[in-house]
Amino acid sequence: MKTFETERLRMKVADLDDADFFLELYNLPSFIKHIGDRKLCTKQDAEQYIKDRFLPHIEKLGYGNYVVIHKELDKKIGAVGVFVREGIEVPDIGFSFFPDYEGKGFAYESASKLKELVATNFGLTKISAMTSDENISSQKLIERLGLKFQKYVIFPDDNEELRYYEN
């Protein structure tokens, strides 16, 4: 599952050619506030992050993080992925988009397609998602994807309580 499409979007597996894109996306104030600081300061940091985090996940499981490309504009506008994380039993779906592309249905369009594909191709019928209490737009999207709030969780080495959802 290297690429897939929706009506308006094309999704491709994240690779080293996307280092500049992830450097910009992961340093957005909204990304750092709601998802966390990945400490990507240079293109080389972003390349290393892709090598260490994204590529092994794809190689091991067949799915992972995808770059979302607006077909008509032929422009990278965000990312969506399903991840297996330490300390969380159920793989979780996540998404992040540049501000100009938020609130236009792109996150739902890409995340719902990915959710459908991992269920069909990998048998992942149970998916989770996490977000902060203050990130109301993500909560609405997660609920629209069919996930329900279950509990609050705190990751090891973190002190922020996150809302945990499952379908």
What topology is assigned to 3-166 in CATH?
Aminopeptidase (3.40.630)
Domain ranges of the chain: 3-166
Residue 156's pLDDT is what?
72
- Per the prediction, the chain carries an average pLDDT of 95
Is pLDDT of 160 > 80?
Answer: yes
* Single pTM value for the model: 0.94
Give dist(CA 105, CA 151) in Å, integer.
26
Residues 6+ apart with CB under 8 A from 20: 43, 46
Is pLDDT of 1 > 90?
Answer: no
pLDDT by residue (tens digit) across 86-126? Answer: 888 999 999 999 999 999 999 999 999 999 999 999 999 99
